Structures are given as C-alpha cells and as structure tokens.
C-alpha cells in the first residue's frame, strides 16, 4: 500500500532528518512528516538565525532590523529547500502536515492514515514561558517570536541568564541596545565552569549589559508601547525577551514509539539530536560525549566533566590552564582574550573534561571531544602535530603542561 512504510519519522529537525537518511541508507522505506519547518527550530528560529545575527552584529546595522531578518531568512529558506531536495533525492517520502497518533504503528495526517512497522517521534521542544501577570502584553517576545521585532530596542530586558539569553544580549548590545539580564538564580550561566563564567563576565564589563541576579520577575505592566518589568523594583523597557529555556514536546506519544532529539530530553542541542538520529539502528548513542557551545564574544565551549562535577563526586583530578595570549596566532591577530582549561585524572593519564573561552572555541573543542569519548591516553594526544600557526595549537600547548 502507498501509505505503508518500514518507518515513519515525525519532525524534520536535525534529529528527524538524520534518522530518515540513516533509515533510507539501510535500504528501508521511510516517510518524514513535518508541519511547516523543514529543518526544524534549529534552522528557522534557533541555531542558524542567531549565528547569522551574531555575525552580522559585528558590523554597524545597515538599513532596518526587518531588512536584516529578511536577508537571513532568505538564506534559511534556501537551506530548507535544499534539505527537502536532498531528502527526496535519496528516496525519503515527504509529507507536510500535522501528525496525530492513532496508535504505536499508525498516524493521521491531513485526514489520511499512514502505517509503519516503527514510528519515531522527533517533535522537538518549545520555549518555556512565565506564568505571571502581563506575559501576553505586546513587545514581550520569546526566542521564536523575537524575529517579529521591527526595530532595535533602545532598552531591552532579557529574562534568563543562560546561553540563549547571553547570545541575544550579545546581539542586541552590539546593535546598540541597553540590555538588562534578569536571572532568578544567584548567578548567571550556572551550567558553565566557574572559571569560564567569571572570565566572560569580566570581559563583558565594557558592554552595555547590566546583570541582575537573584532577581525574580513578578509581573509585567504596560506603559503605552513600553513594558514595565516588576521585580523588587520597577523598570521600563522598549521590549522584553523571555529566554528561560526550552522544554521537550508535551505531545502524548504511545508506548513503543521511539523518541529522539529534544523530544527525548536533555541536553536540548541540535548536534545531540543529529547523533541520536544517526544511531537509530546501532543504539550506541549512550556512549557518545556531547560538547556544548555558547557563541558569544568570546565563545565558550565545554565537553566532559566540569571541575564542579568532579568536586561533587569527590573524585581526584588535576587541572591545567593556558591563556590564549600564550598562542602566537591569537596574540598577533588580537584574539588573545580567554584560556583553555583541562581536567585530567590524578595521574594525568586521561582527559576527563575540558572548557575553553576564546576565539574559535566551538571548533577547537572537537579534538578534545574525540579524546574524551575514545579515552585516548594523554601521552598519545601529545604526539599529535598541529599546523602552525593556528589557534588550535592551544590544545598542544595545554597538554604540554600536564
């Protein structure tokens, strides 16, 4: 029957598209269902547009904000079109519409029933909101609706001091906004290494960003087109961005349906979703080490155990740190802000974790991710020859300190 497949994948984000391609490469039939965003939140509202904006914000804004958004989303639509073409070329059946589960083997889309031996749910995640008065006022946005903003706000409040909030603070402070970050916890970026977090905050002292910790928002009030943020005091802003995180899809999924990506829980990262999609047959995803990156200026990247987690486990370890300024290329090209920090076992035989703050941190972390995942001895890592002069040599330089 035309509506029968070996697999049906729901959701065409990074996890769903990788799963569909993995399945088709194994010679099995697969249908991929997507409501409207072929490429998912990552392509249309998260990873890609924010990185484009971070890059664009390094230069003065030419024209208006909506013009910049239009340019970026023109590129995004082209990527999405190419993605669909690639999936079709490989033989994946694409179905556009909202999927509703009938049971563990059947779904309904556009009033038509589709059946498969196996269903995979890659329904993604959604922004977490606040259950407080005034949350529905105009000029209050989340990380998905912020692209409807028509102009750069002179005063912007960001609720949430995690990586989403900091990336948007980086963007808008570059564009000239006076930004205030409100964080309910005693410190921002609580998921990051303490040394890394402190270094970022030090480097941001000259930015037009104010940080209010232990500051819980109680309500929003409207003042004409402006929004008043109520904490223990009242402050007025032109716009508010709610950036307190995301939660996995709350869709009711029948038993027996496999979840991958954000729908499968933390960490809610696109590359984790892709890795789960690729491992749909092998089932060896649990052994994969997932790095994390924040694309602020300077960048931050981490992988493996943090120093805080090692202390909490009462585990013996050693650390070493190397400043970027010790790297010749970083120094002469003016990107010497930052450092690399390595955590090893107490004998210095294996890497347990790594944290980097500095230029190209998100690229440099890849070598260390492989080293931790494959348990490569440090003695063997020291034999790696890096091209000179490169920023990546900070790894070799740091390893020499162990």
Task: Return d(Cα 2, Cα 4) in angstroms, integer.
Answer: 6
Contact status, residue 76 vs residue 49, Cβ threshold 8 Å: yes
Task: Return d(Cα 73, Cα 88) in angstroms, integer.
Answer: 22
Going by C-alpha positions, the residue among 174, 156, 291, 152 that lies closest to residue 227 is: 156
Task: Return d(Cα 275, Cα 257) in angstroms, integer.
Answer: 18
End-to-end CA distance of the chain: 62
What pLDDT score does 400 carry? 96
17 CB-side CA count, 13 A: 21
What pLDDT score does 145 carry? 97
Task: Return d(Cα 282, Cα 209) in angstroms, integer.
Answer: 46
What pLDDT score does 288 carry? 81
pLDDT score of 32 more than 80? yes
Q: Which tokens hold the place of 308?
A: 């805080």
Residue in the block written with tokens 């940080």: 211
Mapped onto helix, strand or coil, the DSSP state of residue 31 is: strand
Contact status, residue 183 vs residue 244, Cβ threshold 8 Å: no
Q: pLDDT tens digit string along 146-200?
A: 999 999 999 999 999 999 999 999 999 999 999 999 999 999 999 999 999 999 9
Mapped onto helix, strand or coil, the DSSP state of residue 328 is: helix
Strand ordering across the sheet containing 209-212: 140-142, 239-242, 155-159, 178-182, 209-212
For the chain, how long is the longest CA-to-CA vector? 65
**Phi and psi, residue 284, nearest 5°:** -100, 20
DSSP state of 238: S
Task: Return d(Cα 211, Cα 209) in angstroms, integer.
Answer: 7
The partner residues of 157 in beta bridges, in order of sequence, read 180, 240
pLDDT score of 230 more than 70? yes
What pLDDT score does 128 carry? 97
Residue 283: how many other CB atoms lie within 10 Å: 8
Task: Return d(Cα 346, Cα 316) in angstroms, integer.
Answer: 5
Q: pLDDT tens digit string along 305-342?
A: 999 999 999 999 999 999 999 999 999 999 999 999 99
Grade residue 291 by pLDDT with cuts at 50, 70 and 90. Answer: very high
pLDDT score of 286 more than 80? no
Name the pairing type of β-strands 140-142 and 300-304: unpaired
What pLDDT score does 283 carry? 75
Contact status, residue 200 vs residue 298, Cβ threshold 8 Å: yes
Q: Which tokens hold the place of 163?
A: 């990586």
Helix (H) or strand (E) run with residue 352 in it: strand 351-357
Grade residue 1 by pLDDT with cuts at 50, 70 and 90. Answer: low
385-395 average pLDDT score: 97
pLDDT score of 397 more than 60? yes
pLDDT score of 284 more than 90? no
What pLDDT score does 89 carry? 98
pLDDT score of 2 more than 90? no
**Phi and psi, residue 240, nearest 5°:** -130, 135
Residue in the block written with tokens 């509506």: 3
- Listed in sequence order, the residues at least 6 apart from 308 whose beta carbon sits closer than 8 Å to its beta carbon are 193, 194
Could you tell me what percentage of the chain is helix, strand and coil, using 3-state DSSP and rounding each to the nearest 5? 35, 25, 40
What pLDDT score does 285 carry? 74
Task: Return d(Cα 295, Cα 16) in angstroms, integer.
Answer: 24
Task: Return d(Cα 270, Cα 368) in angstroms, integer.
Answer: 19
297-304 average pLDDT score: 97
Q: What is this structure's pTM?
A: 0.95
């Amino acid at each position: 029957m035309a509506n029968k497949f070996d697999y049906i994948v729901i959701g065409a984000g990074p996890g769903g598209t990788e799963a569909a391609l993995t399945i088709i490469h194994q010679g099995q039939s697969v249908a991929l269902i997507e409501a409207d965003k072929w490429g998912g939140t990552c392509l249309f509202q998260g990873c890609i547009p924010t990185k484009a904006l971070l890059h664009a914000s390094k230069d003065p804004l030419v024209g208006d904000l909506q013009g910049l958004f239009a340019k970026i989303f023109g590129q995004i639509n082209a990527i999405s079109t190419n993605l669909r073409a690639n999936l079709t070329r490989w033989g994946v059946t694409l179905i556009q519409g909202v999927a509703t589960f009938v049971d563990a083997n059947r779904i309904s889309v556009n009033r038509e029933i589709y059946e498969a031996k196996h269903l995979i749910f890659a329904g993604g995640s959604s922004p977490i909101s606040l259950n407080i008065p005034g949350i529905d006022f105009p000029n209050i946005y989340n990380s998905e609706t912020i692209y409807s903003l028509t102009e750069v706000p002179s005063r912007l409040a960001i609720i949430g001091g995690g990586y989403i909030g900091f990336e948007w603070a980086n963007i808008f402070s570059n564009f000239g906004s006076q930004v205030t970050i409100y964080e309910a916890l005693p410190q921002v970026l609580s998921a990051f290494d303490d040394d890394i977090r402190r270094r970022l905050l030090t480097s941001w002292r000259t930015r037009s960003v104010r940080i209010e910790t232990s500051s819980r928002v109680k309500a929003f009030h409207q003042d004409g087109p402006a929004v008043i943020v109520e904490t223990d005091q009242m402050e007025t802003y032109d716009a508010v961005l709610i950036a307190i995180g995301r939660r996995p899809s709350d869709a009711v999924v029948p038993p027996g349906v496999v979840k991958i990506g954000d729908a499968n829980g933390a960490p809610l990262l696109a590359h984790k979703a892709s890795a789960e999609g690729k491992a749909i047959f092998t089932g060896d995803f649990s052994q994969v080490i997932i790095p994390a990156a924040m694309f602020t200026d300077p960048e931050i990247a981490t992988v493996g155990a943090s120093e805080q987690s090692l202390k909490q486990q009462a585990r013996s370890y050693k650390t070493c740190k190397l400043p970027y300024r010790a790297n010749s290329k970083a120094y002469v090209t003016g990107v010497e802000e930052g450092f690399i920090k390595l955590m090893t076992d107490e004998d210095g035989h294996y890497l347990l974790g790594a944290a980097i703050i500095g230029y190209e941190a998100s690229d440099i972390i890849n070598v260390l991710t492989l080293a931790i995942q494959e348990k490569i001895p440090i003695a063997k890592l020291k034999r790696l020859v890096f091209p000179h002069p490169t920023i990546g040599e900070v790894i070799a330089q740091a390893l020499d300190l162990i």
